[in-house]
Amino acid sequence: MKIIKNGTLISPQKMLIADIAIQNNKIIEISANINPSDEDEVYDASGCYVFPGFIDGHTHFDMDTGTAHTADDFISGTKAAVVGGTTTIVDFATQEKGQSLKEAYDIWMKKAKDKSSCNYRFHMAITDWNETIKEEMNKMPELGVTSFKMYMAYDSLLSNDAEILACLKKIKEIDGVLGVHCENGTLINELTKEKIAAGETSPGAHPASRPDYVEAEAINRLAYISTLADHPVNIVHLSSLAGLNEIRNARKRNQEITVETCPQYLLLDDHYYNLDNFEGAKYVISPPLRKEKDNKALIQAIVDGEIDTIATDHCSFNFKNDKELGKEDFRKIPNGAPGVEHRPQLIYTYLVEESRIDVMRMCELMSTNPAKRYGMYPEKGALEVGSDADIVIFSPDYEGVITASKQIQNVDYTPFEGFKIKGQAKNVFVNGECVVKDGTIVKENQGTYVFGPRKRV
């Protein structure tokens, strides 16, 4: 048995000083004082917060864009996740045109299986909707896939409104979740053409070609599609106040809608695109970074309970060779940035330490809500007897600075270079194994596939 003693246990509703006993991969007891026997392993959590393991509901590991490949695969990506306190990631298995969903699932399973240091699960990104796929959707829950994604932008990935509506109706039948990348791809293509025609080829043209209204319009349209299908949707990586206002409008009409954002949309603004030496390319992500007013509005929305989850959209490309593909033409810069490693520290430092939210809300945004949204609760997302022993002992005393030279993410930069941080995942347990001790990985490859409550191995 393993016993975590004297920690402050966090849930969305309460904080409680208590001990936790772990047997195999489960929490078997929580009480004021658990007396260890000689053979028990004891972990002292005095002065630390004890969270249910953090869940990152939005990562892209081992992904190819056709011209570039992500710097992180499941080996490095999940190591980076777990060292930061993230014990489960939900990655996007992406269907290519002509592929069945099972084929895409098998490809992603092969990328992740026996290589992952944290637990993993997949959203199925659908890029080729048709009658055969519609039929195949019925079988996805048997594979543990209950969440899906569609894109409203990117020519190679996007679905039109009719396809999104049909897919969402099917998802309602199988009681699944649809997350949508909300940006109007047609408008982006047009605005991009204008920029190129005007000779604007630098990273600064990237945010200009996809302004906030392009996100807002897509969110508004999706909200009505959701009403037509009579099934809620999940807005992934919300970036703007304009987009948030459309969510508010939809909710005023009693439309049920959940919202994810990411640290980059809270802590970084669009001045980074003007950096010298092509450094702005490091921040070429979609949706793009916005204005300081957007950062502030989204933080306030988190405080006010309008945002449900914080993920990362980790999609790392090296600056050297990969981002540099777009040196002469911003359209060729692979879109994405790393983030999976530092999310808990960034949110703790800039939201909890700044007294914007408390640790209970942090737990809700980063563990409990994603577990609920993606069908993993209460096995994940909760410190309860019977829950999986995915646990983070988080020390609030640690002080440090984020720097690419020290990160586990296998990428040559971080958009948060030089950011001061407080707090650290001191010990991390995955499936009952202590995999991080004093902030260092001591055991790799302990992650397993998460089926969710419908079925599990």
Q: Which residues are at the interface with Zn ion (CB under 5 A)?
A: 313
User: Nearest-CA neighbor of 430 among 444, 416, 419?
Assistant: 444
- Give the residue with the Cβ less far from Zn ion, 285 or 434: 285
171: left (phi over 0), alpha (psi -120 to 50) or beta: alpha
CB 422 within 8 A of CB 349: yes
Which residues are within 8 A (CB) of 176 and not within 5 positions of it... i.e. 6 or more apart?
A: 137, 140, 141, 146, 147, 148
Q: d(Cα 381, Cα 362) in Å, to the nearest integer?
A: 12
Beta pairing, strands 257-261 & 233-235: parallel
- Give the residue with the Cβ less far from Zn ion, 212 or 260: 260
- Give the residue with the Cβ less far from Zn ion, 118 or 157: 157
**Residue whose Cβ sits closest to Zn ion:** 313
- Give the residue with the Cβ less far from Zn ion, 92 or 105: 92
Instruction: Please report the DSSP string for 216-280 in residue order.
Output: HHHHHHHHHHHHHHTS-EEE-S---HHHHHHHHHHHHTT--EEEEE-THHHH--GGGGG-TTTGG
Q: Amino acid identity, residue 85? A: G
CB of 268 to Zn ion, least distance (A): 16
- Give the residue with the Cβ less far from Zn ion, 125 or 392: 125
- Give the residue with the Cβ less far from Zn ion, 217 or 313: 313
User: Nearest-CA neighbor of 268 among 372, 418, 384, 124?
Assistant: 418
The answer to whether the peptide bond before residue 203 is cis (omega within 30 degrees of 0) is no
CB 441 within 8 A of CB 409: no
- Give the residue with the Cβ less far from Zn ion, 286 or 424: 286
Report which DSSP code applies to 364.
I
Q: d(Cα 386, Cα 332) in Å, to the nearest integer?
A: 49
- Give the residue with the Cβ less far from Zn ion, 20 or 259: 259
CB of 207 to Zn ion, least distance (A): 17
- Give the residue with the Cβ less far from Zn ion, 2 or 290: 290
Element (H, E) at 121: strand 119-125
CB of 49 to Zn ion, least distance (A): 29
Which residues are within 8 A (CB) of 7 and not within 5 positions of it... i.e. 6 or more apart?
A: 17, 18, 19, 20, 45, 46, 48, 49, 50, 393
CB of 44 to Zn ion, least distance (A): 38
CB of 163 to Zn ion, least distance (A): 19
- Give the residue with the Cβ less far from Zn ion, 145 or 435: 145
Q: d(Cα 353, Cα 57) in Å, to the nearest integer?
A: 24
The answer to whether the peptide bond before residue 370 is cis (omega within 30 degrees of 0) is no
Beta pairing, strands 391-401 & 309-310: unpaired
CB of 89 to Zn ion, least distance (A): 12
CB of 154 to Zn ion, least distance (A): 10
CB of 328 to Zn ion, least distance (A): 26
Token pair 């302004």: residue: 211
CB of 236 to Zn ion, least distance (A): 7
CB of 262 to Zn ion, least distance (A): 9
Task: Provide the CA 425 distance to its chain's centre, in angstroms.
Answer: 18
- Give the residue with the Cβ less far from Zn ion, 294 or 313: 313
- Give the residue with the Cβ less far from Zn ion, 56 or 313: 313
CB of 311 to Zn ion, least distance (A): 9
CB 435 within 8 A of CB 422: no
CB of 398 to Zn ion, least distance (A): 29
